Amino acid sequence: MENFSQKQEGESQWLPISDLMSVLMMVFLLIAVSYMLKVTLEKEKIEEVAITYNKLQNKLYQDLNLEFKEDFKKWDAEIDKATLSVRFKSPEILFSEGSPKLNNKFKSILKEFFPRFIDVLNKKDYKNDIDEIRIEGHTSSRWREGTKDGVAYIKNMELSQNRTRNVLDYVLKNETDKVLIKWIRLNVTANGLSSSKLIYNDDGIENSDLSRRVEFRVKTNAEKRIAKILSE
């Protein structure tokens, strides 16, 4: 009888432990299911944002291409569908070598290009989805002969920054609509990138002429929307 009593007592001690383990397993299971649901919902929201902005990017590309398709050839310009960048490719048209001063030919192009460019972006279909309009100045990796790479990079950074500031200053001075000027100041930035984004030939050698360029790049707020979803 004594052994039987001890056995019962031992079993009664194990029962609460087994119950506790069952409860813990249920808690962990609920946590795991909740986490999986959260991840699934986040994924669905991100996919929805990505699809929406892919459609917006395609539509914006089509509208910009339609607006300027007759002009790109005479300007020696193009639009990149992936980055929504309008790229002016002829350095001799843009600036004199080593100078931040706009050439007269480039001024004429900007007078024609920029107001129409902003008109497209300022449409109700796009204006609330645009995060930034970047005027980007790019240079080759070269400076004067014999200049070390590090010095050339900094010199070209200063040059590219001065060039984009001059472009922004010029287009602002040619705008008369005060409301539009305010919108441009809030959304358009000047960015000198030196030789950080060179263009290379198929053989891997730097194309100095194509690397010296000005781009007008449109950034949507898709990344911010996705970051907001992940932070919720």
CA dist 107 and 111 (Å) reads 6
Give the type of residue at 26.
M
Q: What is the pLDDT of residue 44?
A: 65
CATH T-level fold of 50-231? 60s Ribosomal Protein L30; Chain: A; (3.30.1330)
Question: What local confidence, expressed as pLDDT, does residue 124 receive?
Answer: 87
Q: Domain segments of the chain: what residues?
A: 50-231
The DSSP element (H or E) to which 134 belongs, if any, is strand 130-138
Strand partners, 130: 220
Residue 169 has pLDDT above 60, yes or no: yes
CA dihedral 215→47→131→66, nearest 10 degrees, is 50
User: 86 has which bridge partners?
Assistant: 79, 216
Q: pLDDT tens-digit profile of 27-79?
A: 777 787 777 766 666 666 666 666 667 778 889 999 999 999 999 999 999 99
Strands of the 213-220 sheet, one edge to the other: 77-80, 85-88, 213-220, 130-138, 188-192
pLDDT, tens digit (0-9, with 9 covering 90-100), for 69-90: 999 999 999 999 989 999 999 9
Range picked from 27-31, 146-150, 202-206 for highest mean pLDDT: 202-206
